């Protein structure tokens, strides 16, 4: 049977066994989609990145959760490029990456920080009842209405769509007890892959906000630290002009609709309530970028099943 080099790399952290673990398969050219799905299921982390050759970019990547393929993943991109740098496969600089949403730029700094340019942002208000959202998340709806007048419920995307839900205080966000079946139904109703709930009432004084992300539709009940959702939420904050601060930088109109202002760089903390603390650096300007560090926690070889004649991934 075939074996492939496989790693677990913790993203958005400098400490092992923190942040968000990503599976990384640096050389997946010989794997079928079904084999990739089997490897992702075996690794059982929120996403695994599989790298193959590309005719349009420096390399192509496919992302799989334990149950399905997804179009984009921030933390697995950060994790894998940190590892590619450590292996000497890439040098500091800008690298092109072919994804299911198109070719994106990944910037690797000398200090090992990786910045991922995400897809063009879109932000759309949704008409969803606060009682339904509160019941799905296990949060008192009053904690959502309290901030809803200024920051409405909306689906934001920089490659993957998330329902963005502001919460007034960290106590309510931390005590959330989501009903995963209800979260699935909620996401299906607004065409979102997951729910990103956040509060400006953060643990760290240097953090812009504290977030939690639930995506049971993708086989991820709660993601520790989410790059794509952070980028989408950064676009959301600009769209609804969430900041009124001297250091906030005005940005031009774009696909999100209204122009707004955001700090030049934001820091989103996440993962503390699942014992995987980490933080995402977010910049929203002419494009949306998320950045962070990563550290390898596990490296080895994995035996993969024989390839079937087809490349189909069966769904129950």
**Where does residue 180 rank: exposed (0-12), middle (13-18), buried (19+ CB within 10 A)?**
middle
* Residues whose CB falls within 8 Å of the CB of residue 27, separated by 6 or more in sequence, listed in order: 4, 5, 51
Q: Say if residues 10 and 294 touch (Cβ distance below 8 Å).
A: yes
Does 47 participate in catalysis according to the annotation? yes
Between CA 230 and CA 269 the distance in angstroms is 10
List 2, 15, 42, 47, catalytic entry: 47
Between CA 257 and CA 48 the distance in angstroms is 33
Strands 161-166 and 194-199: parallel
Between CA 14 and CA 293 the distance in angstroms is 6
Active-site residue set: 47
């Amino acid at each position: 049977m075939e074996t492939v080099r496989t790693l677990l790399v913790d993203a958005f952290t400098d400490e092992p066994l923190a942040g968000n673990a990503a599976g990384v398969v640096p050389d997946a050219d010989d794997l079928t989609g079904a084999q990739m799905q089997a490897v992702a299921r075996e690794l059982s982390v929120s996403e695994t990145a599989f790298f193959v050759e590309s005719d349009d970019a420096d390399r192509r990547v496919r992302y799989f959760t334990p149950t399905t393929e997804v179009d984009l993943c921030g933390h697995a991109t950060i994790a894998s490029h940190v590892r590619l740098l450590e292996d000497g496969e890439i040098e500091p600089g800008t690298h092109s990456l072919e994804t299911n949403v198109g070719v994106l730029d990944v910037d690797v700094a000398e200090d090992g920080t990786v910045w991922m340019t995400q897809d063009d942002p879109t932000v759309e208000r949704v008409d969803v009842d606060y009682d339904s959202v509160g019941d799905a998340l296990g949060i008192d709806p009053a904690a959502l209405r309290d901030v809803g007048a200024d920051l409405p419920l909306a689906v934001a995307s920089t490659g993957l769509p998330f329902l963005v839900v502001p919460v007034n205080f960290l106590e309510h966000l931390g005590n959330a007890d989501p009903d995963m079946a209800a979260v699935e139904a909620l996401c299906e109703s607004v065409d979102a892959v997951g729910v990103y709930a956040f509060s400006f009432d953060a643990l760290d004084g240097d953090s812009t906000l504290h977030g939690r992300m639930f995506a049971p539709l993708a086989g991820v009940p709660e993601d520790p630290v989410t790059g794509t959702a952070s980028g989408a939420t950064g676009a959301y904050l600009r769209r609804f002009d969430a900041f009124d601060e001297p250091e906030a930088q005005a940005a031009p109109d774009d696909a999100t609709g209204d122009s707004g202002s955001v700090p030049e760089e934001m820091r989103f903390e996440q993962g503390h309530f699942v014992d995987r603390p980490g933080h995402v650096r977010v910049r929203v300007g002419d494009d949306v970028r998320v950045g962070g560090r990563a550290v390898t926690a596990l490296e080895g070889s994995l035996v993969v099943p024989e390839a079937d004649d087809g490349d189909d991934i069966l769904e129950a």
